[in-house]
Amino acid sequence: MKDLRDGNRPSAGASLAGDKPSERASEAATDGLKQGNGKSVAPGSSSDETPQVRASASDSTREKGSSEPIGRRRRRRRKSARKAAAKGVSDMSANVPSQPATAAPVPGQKKGRRRRRKSGREIQGRPLTPQKAPGQAQPKLHPASSGPGQPSTHAAHAAGASGPVARRHADDLYAALDLGTNNCRLLIAQPTRPGQFRVVDAFSRIVRLGEGLDATGELSADAMDRAVEALKVCAGKLKNRPVRRHRLIATEACRSARNGEAFLARVREETGLELEIVSRETEARLAVAGCSSLVGRETDGLVLFDIGGGSSEIAMIDLTENRSNRLANHIKAWTSLPVGVVTLSERHGGCLVTPAVFEAMVAEVDVMLADFVPPVLPAFSGLGEPRVHLLGTSGTVTTLAGLHLDLPRYDRRKVDGLWLSNEDVDLMLDRLLSWDFEARAANPCIGADRADLVLAGCAILQSIRKRWPSPRMRVADRGLREGLLNEMMASDGAWRRSGRNYRSRHQRSAQGEKT
């Protein structure tokens, strides 16, 4: 009969049919005695045999004759050692219940191969948002009032708490308000990456402050009432957020009206907002500063224009020499036309605009542009080439972009930064001229509030295109507010600050000033 003891699957040491155990079985039994803490076990007996000896003998047998992976055998040995250690600790402690098999390993032993995720991290290793302890009160911020463009201090602390102050992002908020001839706009933002910011809150309302200004030279009572109501909303938003620094400006309507200063005094009394009237040069520079992120490295020169309600600013920018990130530093020539969509539509009529009326509006703007004689600039020697283009920031160009995309509803994310060719602009102008007032008002990108103004803005755009022909134009849904935010953040070093370290230092200094 063939002996099965020397095959590929040896037994655990017991003999078959009364034969003597094989040499391999004897070696396994000997190894079991060596690992059994010095205790001798009689062959074939089971009552006096300890679990440690049986496990050791079985492991030794598998190590000698099995093809089991080495890593699995090592894990099994470590598990057996942990069980033996846990049993030894339970035997020594009389009053302490025995530990289960899954108890934590004793100090000094190696950990298993399976690792647990560290607390406070996601699977990808990104830090999670710190959790607030149960019952822990959230510290409140107490903002202090500040003047226009001046920093304000904030102390964040919990009542009766002596621990460190919790970090907050409120001390990084900046606000910019632009009261124009047609709109009242507010933007509250927080700096993020260099040259960029995240919008926290925004407000925009058509107030038509310059309504009738061209005929009377003064702001009408109804227009001032509409503007004050909008500014009250802005004041409430500024009070609800602890803004570190803000700047509130008024442009052409307040600048040219005889009662502009009196109106600003009324605004100060009823809303608490201190508005400053900026010059036309400052307005042009702010419009350029707000669009700096839309100018690529492949651009050598551009003509940036802002078609407003009462004035239109145009800046010629040359980037061929000593290029820097601050686009406003490259303004080589600028002009401000005393005409906007409100004033031009009131002169020629904005509801019924025929092709002849449209050409008359374009001719009026052509006369104004003829008085502007800029110097010879290297970037504009090849005017008409792709490296020189137009950049428009106004409601006129954004409306054309929305019509070009055929948007069912205006979407800033799709419009801002869009490129339009000459053929695209001509097609949209012809389309607008073919519509009557009702058709323009029904379009979702125009609306009833701007249906009588859009063609006046297109006439100003057409005159600019005739003066500086370019194969393409870029659309910017941004303007003075973004320029104000960029300048405040840059001058305040908001993008150079290390967020966590700066906020802790700022809060400590604010607490010191308060005490």
In a shared domain, residues 264 and 301 = no
**Cα dihedral sign, 84-87-88-89:** positive
243 in a domain, yes or no? yes
Classify 505 as helix, strand or coil: helix
pLDDT tens sequence across 86-133: 776 555 554 444 444 444 445 555 555 555 444 433 333 333 333 343
Lowest mean pLDDT among 145-159, 351-365, 469-483: 145-159
The CA-based dihedral angle spanning residues 324, 329, 331, 332, taken in that order and rounded to the nearest 10 degrees: -90
In a shared domain, residues 231 and 309 = no
**Between helices 280-290 and 480-491, what is the axis angle to 10°?**
80
Whole-angstrom distance, CA of residue 32 vs CA of residue 57: 4
Neighbouring C-alpha atoms within 13 Å toward the C-beta of 164: 6
In a shared domain, residues 311 and 460 = yes
In a shared domain, residues 267 and 392 = no
Report pLDDT for 383: 63
What CATH number does residue 321 fall under? Answer: 3.30.420.150
**Cα dihedral sign, 280-282-283-289:** positive
Structural domains counted in the chain? 2
Classify 31 as helix, strand or coil: helix
Q: Would the pTM count as exceeding 0.75?
A: no
Whole-angstrom distance, CA of residue 429 vs CA of residue 515: 63
Whole-angstrom distance, CA of residue 173 vs CA of residue 485: 10
The yes-or-no verdict on residue 365 having pLDDT over 50 is yes
pLDDT tens sequence across 44-94: 444 444 444 344 444 444 444 455 677 778 888 888 888 888 776 555 554
In a shared domain, residues 222 and 354 = no
Report pLDDT for 77: 84
- In the chain, pLDDT over 90 holds for what percent of residues? 54
How many other CB atoms are there within 10 angstroms of residue 277's CB atom?
17
pLDDT tens sequence across 373-402: 999 998 888 666 778 999 999 899 999 999
Report pLDDT for 36: 45
Report pLDDT for 155: 33
Which of 277, 304, 320 lies at the terminal end of a domain, its last residue? 277
- Domain, as residue range, for 193: 173-277
In a shared domain, residues 343 and 462 = yes
